[in-house]
Amino acid sequence: MRCYNSPQGINGKLMLFRKSIVEKILGKNPETVSTFLGLRSVRIKDAQSKIGFPCRNFEQDSIGTDADMDVAQLDDTFPGKFKVDCRAVKYNVFVSKSMRFNKKIHLHNRRIVGFAVKVAKNLFRIFANRYCLPQKFIKIMARINENYLKLQAGYLFPEIGRRVREFAKANPDKEIIRMGIGDVTQPLTPTVIKAFHEGVDEMADANTFKGYGPEQGYDFLREAIAKHDYHARGVQLSADEIFVSDGSKCDTGNIQEIFGGDNKIAICDPVYPVYADTTVMSGKTGPCRKNGYFDGIVYMPCNEGNGFLPELPSERPDLIFLCFPNNPTGTVASKEVLKKWVDYAIINKCIIFYDAAYEAFITDSAIPHSIYEIEGAKSVAIEFRSFSKTAGFTGTRCAFTVIPDELMAYDEAGQPHQVKPLWMRRHTTKFNGVSYPVQKAAAAIYSEEGAKEVKAVIEYYLENARIMIDSLKSQGYTVFGGINAPYVWVKTKNGLTSWEFFDLLLNEANVVGTPGSGFGPSGEGYFRFSAFAERDNVLKAMERLKKLGNVKM
């Protein structure tokens, strides 16, 4: 006889755990497994008296009639609403040694299988916790977030680093020019540094010293942002819709936390990798397929055919990541393009995560800097901005996220809730604010002098991009981006793959860029040059490419 239990709290339903699943969950430690399975030999009556609630006999149960695994009624609830939180589990889960499902009840879908196992494991944990296992076994249950195992090892930049290191070791006399990682090279501007110093000095004086500040940022910075970044563009936002943070990377990664785990995410391909990886970490995806796509994410390929602009997805997502000006393709979105997305989001009750980390590079006056320049966007979009590329804060760390009061999301009953208070709760619980001198330095970019200086640095980078575009075009390359963005997106010649082109450039021209395929399958055959380089290096790199030219390709 097997172990039959009917723990209250799981609606008096039947549970069956076989040795295989016990081993799978607890590991194959014979002591652990045999202790748990000791219950298997307990007859139902004994088990009932031992665990203190009614039990049912599996063999008499109308659903499970043989030794196979049945997951009854799960299909009724699939997809979506089922909570894996054990306390909310409402359904029977029977797990068999063979792990086969009764196909008659529609369990042929692999996603349901994976899902059922997840549910079974949770039931098991509750069961073990409450009724069966002594503390020492429960301790064994400390578990990792298995979603992390699905992540593809941070492949792109470590792999670039490895190849560059190997090359440098073998060729110590060669001067390598790095135009790969999108990090700035120009220092903080004088006005910013002056404010930074003043902030530090204030911290040295008991009369002006500051301890913890407001988690969402000092008023002086949030008010400056509202005035200069938004009011000046005709967007009415108040300072309390702005949350200052230490980076857009963290914010674009953390934002999913306040939305339900069963939301479907849409991302572009190629894409800034943080959106996909944090979606995987949050458990919204299946494994990574051979083509580099994760099950469960809606991908929106961006290629030459669509001008590197994502098309509206054929499958409705709940949350949509958009990034303009785009990393890595350097594409920008016109008002018409953004309006299409805002309208789609309004009709479909989606939320757009709009990453505008590179808005300061927009030179074309017709291109919107903020998604809120589009009517209706405040009810469907969260915007992320950063001082990193705008003002050289990559090492100083300051950014902000905008969540308008109008933005609503829904609970399971379909009731609307304001999103802003949820983010406020998260931000104030998990974050203690950006340091005062850094916020003071950031605010300095909104002064007259500060704005001029920052603009000059941006123009310097954009001039780099122009030099690259002209040179690459004259060498016969097809080039995109780089006009309203600091990234130049180049099509490799002669059908070289992105990595083949990377190796060619590294070995023959000693120039490092970023292989487009590292940003997603649709980036294959492309290459990203960053304009965040010293002018001399840009000129040298282009000369080297010219020499390499048609001789090698």
Ligand X SMILES: Cc1ncc(COP(=O)(O)O)c(C=O)c1O
What are the E-state strand segments in 115-219?
177-178
| Region binding ligand X by CB under 6 A among candidate stretches 232-240, 248-256, 306-314, 511-519 | 248-256
Closer by beta carbon to ligand X, 355 or else 453: 355
Q: Does 249 participate in binding ligand X (rule CB under 6 A)? A: yes
Please say whether the beta carbons of 305 and 251 come within 8 A.
no
| Region from 73-81, 88-96, 243-251, 475-483 binding ligand X, contact rule CB under 6 A | 243-251
Binding of residue 327 to ligand X (CB under 6 A): yes
Please choose, out of 197-205, 295-303, 386-394, 467-475, the segment that lies near ligand X by the rule CB under 6 A: 386-394
For residue 217, state whether it binds ligand X (rule: CB under 6 A): no
Q: What is the smallest separation between the CB atom of 379 and ligand X, expressed in angstroms?
A: 23
Candidates 3, 21, 226, 323; binder of ligand X (CB under 6 A) is 323
Closest CB to ligand X among residues 64, 482: 482
Residue nearest to ligand X (CB): 247
Q: Which of 116, 123, 21, 118 is nearest to 78 (CA)?
A: 116
DSSP string across 6-27: --TTTTT--EE--HHHHHHHH-
Burial 479-516 (b: 16+ CB within 10 A, else e): bbbbbbbbbbbbbbbeebebbebbebbbeebbbbbbbb
Query: Distance of alpha carbon 438 from its chain centroid, rounded?
Result: 25
Q: Does 394 bind ligand X (CB under 6 A)?
A: yes
Location of structure tokens 């499958």: 315
Q: Which is nearer to ligand X, 301 or 376 (CB)?
A: 301
Q: Which of residues 145-184 bind ligand X (CB under 6 A)?
A: 182
Paired with 515 in beta bridges are 527
Residue 382 binds ligand X (CB under 6 A):
no
Closest CB 500 distance from ligand X, rounded Å: 25
**Please, what is the minimum distance in Å from the beta carbon of residue 393 to ligand X?**
7
- CA torsion angle for 460, 462, 463, 467 (degrees, to 10)? 140
The binding track of 258-297 with respect to ligand X, each residue x by CB under 6 A or -, is --------------x-------------------------
From residue 69, alpha-carbon distances to 72, 77, 103 in Å are: 9, 18, 10
| Interface stretch with ligand X, choices 65-73, 244-252, 465-473, 477-485 (CB under 6 A) | 244-252
CB neighbour list of residue 325: distance below 8 Å, 6 or more residues apart: 331, 332, 358, 359, 361, 362, 481, 484, 485, 487
Among 386, 401, 498, 510, binds ligand X (CB under 6 A): 386
399 binds ligand X (CB under 6 A): yes
Q: What's the gap between Cα 492 and its chain centre?
A: 28
- Give how far the C-alpha of residue 236 lies from the chain's centroid of Cα atoms, to the nearest Å: 28
Helix (H, G, I), strand (E, B) or coil at 135: helix
Residue whose CB is less far from ligand X, 180 or 525: 180
In terms of CB distance, is 96 or 252 closer to ligand X? 252
- The window from 114-122, 242-250, 475-483, 492-500 that contacts ligand X (CB under 6 A) reads 242-250
| 514 makes contact with ligand X (CB under 6 A) | no
* Contact residues for 432 (Cβ-Cβ < 8 A; gap 6+): 212, 215
Nearer to ligand X, 86 or 357 (CB): 357
Residue written as token pair 């969402």 = 216
Pick 388 or 439: Cβ nearer ligand X: 388
Asked if 532 interacts with ligand X (CB under 6 A), we say no
In 255-334, alpha helices (H) = 273-281
- Burial category of 341 from C-beta neighbours within 10 Å (exposed 0-12, middle 13-18, buried 19 and up): buried
Query: What would the x/- binding string for ligand X be over residues 340 to 359, using CB under 6 A?
Result: ---------------x-x--
- Using CB under 6 A, which of the segments 247-255, 448-456, 472-480, 529-537 binds ligand X? 247-255
HSE at residue 393, side-chain half, CA atoms within 13 A, is 31
Using CA atoms, how far apart are residues 29 and 143, in angstroms rounded to an integer?
Answer: 16
Q: How far is the CB of 80 from ligand X (least distance, A)?
A: 29
Residues making contact with ligand X (CB under 6 A): 182, 247-249, 252, 272, 323, 327, 355, 357, 386, 388, 394, 399
